[in-house]
Amino acid sequence: MYPSNQMQIIYTPQAFVVEHMRDVRTQIISVILWIFALPAFLYGQTVLHPYENTRFLKAYATLQQPSAQVNENVSLRNTLQSMESALNIAIWLDRRIDGEQLIQLKPGQRTHLECLQELCSQTNTEIAWLENIIYIAPSHQSSRIETAYWKLMTDRVCEAWRKKGTSIQWNEPREVKSIIEEHAKSLPVKIEGLDSIDHDLWAPATIPESSLAAQSTCLLSGFDRSLESVNRQQFKIVELPKASEVAFEYSSNQMQKIKPAQLQAWKTAWPAAKIKAIGVKGIAAINAPVAAHRALALAGQADKIGAFNKPAPFDDSRYTLDYDGELEKLVGTLGKQIGLTIVPWPLDATLAKRMVKIHVKEVSLDELLAAIAKQSDLRIKRTDKSVSIE
CB contact at 8 A, 28 and 349: no
Backbone phi and psi for residue 173, each to the nearest 5 degrees, phi listed first: -50, 135
Q: Residue 327: its pLDDT value, please? A: 85
Backbone phi and psi for residue 9, each to the nearest 5 degrees, phi listed first: -105, 120
Round to whole Å and give the CA distance between 208 and 210. Answer: 6
- Return the top range by mean pLDDT from 101-105, 143-147, 186-190: 143-147
**298 vs 82 pLDDT, higher one:** 298
Is residue 135 within a helix (H) or strand (E), and if so which, with residue range?
Answer: strand 133-138
Least confident of 180-184, 289-293, 295-299, 317-321: 317-321
The strand pairing partners of 386, in sequence order, are 341, 383
3-state secondary structure of 129: strand
Residue 281 DSSP one-character state: T
Least confident of 14-18, 111-115, 265-269, 277-281: 14-18
Round to whole Å and give the CA distance between 268 and 295. Answer: 12
Round to whole Å and give the CA distance between 320 and 322. Answer: 7
Residue 243 DSSP one-character state: P
Q: Residue 18: its pLDDT value, please? A: 40
**374 vs 50 pLDDT, higher one:** 50
Q: Where are the alpha helices (DSSP H) in 155-249?
A: 176-186, 212-221
Q: Residue 87: its pLDDT value, please? A: 82
Mean pLDDT, residues 290-295 = 97
Q: Please check the confidence at residue 4 and state whether its pLDDT lies above 50.
A: no
CA distances from 94 to 118, 128, 135 (A): 17, 10, 7
Percent of the chain with pLDDT over 90: 51
Residue 267: band (very low, low, confident or very high) from pLDDT cuts 50, 70, 90 = very high
Round to whole Å and give the CA distance between 131 and 65. Answer: 18
CB contact at 8 A, 246 and 147: yes
3-state secondary structure of 301: coil
Residue 137: band (very low, low, confident or very high) from pLDDT cuts 50, 70, 90 = very high
Q: Residue 306: its pLDDT value, please? A: 86
Report which residue type is found at 276.
K
Round to whole Å and give the CA distance between 155 and 234. Answer: 14
Mean pLDDT, residues 172-187 = 91
- Reported as a single tens digit per residue, the pLDDT across 351-382 is 778 888 888 888 888 888 888 888 888 888 88
Query: Within a 13 Å sphere around the CA of 70, how many CA atoms are in the beta-carbon half?
Result: 15
Within 8 A by CB and 6+ apart from 332, the residues are: 342, 345
Least confident of 43-47, 208-212, 385-389: 43-47
CA distances from 315 to 201, 249, 311, 338, 365 (A): 46, 42, 12, 12, 10
Q: Residue 16: its pLDDT value, please? A: 37
Mean pLDDT, residues 6-22 = 39
Q: Please check the confidence at residue 124 and state whether its pLDDT lies above 60.
A: yes
CB atoms within 10 A of CB 208: 21
Q: Please check the confidence at residue 24 and state whether its pLDDT lies above 90.
A: no
Q: Is 159 exposed, middle or buried (0-12, 13-18, 19+ CB in 10 A)?
A: middle
- Reported as a single tens digit per residue, the pLDDT across 214-263 is 999 999 999 999 999 999 999 999 999 999 999 999 999 999 999 999 99
Buried b (16+ CB within 10 A) or exposed e, 95-106: eebebeeebebe
Residue 7: band (very low, low, confident or very high) from pLDDT cuts 50, 70, 90 = very low
Q: Where are the alpha helices (DSSP H) in the chain?
A: 13-42, 54-63, 76-87, 112-123, 142-154, 176-186, 212-221, 252-256, 260-269, 290-300, 302-308, 327-338, 349-352, 365-376
Round to whole Å and give the CA distance between 122 and 102. Answer: 9
Q: Mean pLDDT, the chain, as a whole number?
A: 84
3-state secondary structure of 117: helix
Q: Please check the confidence at residue 135 and state whether its pLDDT lies above 90.
A: yes
3-state secondary structure of 224: coil
- Reported as a single tens digit per residue, the pLDDT across 326-335 is 888 888 877 7
Beta-sheet pairing, 71-75 with 102-105: antiparallel
Could you give all domains of the chain from N- to C-terminal order, each with its CATH number?
47-241 (3.55.50.30), 245-308 (3.30.1370), 319-389 (3.55.50.30)
